[in-house]
Amino acid sequence: MYGGPLILPATPATISRLAQACAEADDALTVIPSVMPAPPMPFIPAEMQGQIVIMAAVCYVVDSAQADEALRPLREIATPVMDMVQPMPYAALMDEEIPFRGHPVAVRAIFGDHIDESVGATILAGLNRSDSWLQFVQFRVLGGAISRVAPGATAYAHRKSPIMVIVGRALEDDQLAARQWTEELAAALYQGDDGAYINFFGPHHSDRIEAAYPGETLARLRRIKATYDPTNLFRNNDNITPA
């Protein structure tokens, strides 16, 4: 497989074009872009650290002979700041250093249906309003195999939502300010989808259970909970109570 970071300049146009390229990619290509200040990582030159860029994690799992053509639309969005996408085993991709590993963050995840230049400008304006060393807006274009399963088939019911957006900021400086910043920027990026994704809940999001498991999905999970854990023994989590 091919994998690694692709770092692009962060402008409203490049953010929008990258989202479009992700939506048009085949199922074998996964790209997770994070718009953020370039973190203090060994492979990033010191003079670049702190500049807002798009750090895209790339994973392409088809025969390497097809890789250049599959990755070409990403590389043509703009001249890459750094291009470290290369052949590697999947395990090596998972071993890559994560800049915020070990650092608690305030986080807010929402679903949306588009990322155009206006959305890109909102992302950059939000990042420029904070001087935290660690802040990011990550987006994941969904669709593909996810969208080919019925929303009611599993606990994950948001299969028709095209995009997930995750806003995060380090809690190390001012926890209240960090949470307020994430909430305000997520609100500015809101596009009418009230869904939430449980894996990106923070400690203050227990009131969003119905957003994670809407309607009949939550009712079904509560019935299952009543069958297997009627006393709610397993409750030290984002809890689903027994019916």
Q: Across the 243 residues of the chain, what is the mean pLDDT of every consecutive 10-residue run?
A: 93 98 93 94 88 95 83 94 91 74 87 97 97 94 94 95 96 88 97 94 84 95 97 93 95
**Closest listed residue to residue 41, CA positions, set 92, 98, 102:** 98
Q: Look-up: residue for tokens 């009543």?
A: 226
Cα(90)–Cα(62) distance, integer angstroms: 12
Residue count of the chain: 243
Q: Tally Cβ neighbours within 10 Å of residue 176.
A: 9
Strand partners, 165: 110, 139
Cα(57)–Cα(106) distance, integer angstroms: 21
| pLDDT for res 75 | 94
| pLDDT for res 204 | 75
CA distances from 24 to 7, 27, 113, 140, 185 (A): 19, 9, 14, 13, 27
Q: Where are the beta strands (DSSP E) in 51-204?
A: 52-60, 82-83, 86-87, 105-112, 135-141, 163-170
Contact, 96 vs 160, CB < 8 A? no
| pLDDT for res 207 | 85
| Phi, psi of 115, rounded to the nearest 5 degrees | -135, 100
| pLDDT for res 202 | 78
| pLDDT for res 99 | 65
**Closest listed residue to residue 142, CA positions, set 106, 100, 110:** 110
pTM of the model: 0.93
**Closest listed residue to residue 169, CA positions, set 97, 79, 104, 224:** 104
Strand partners, 93: none
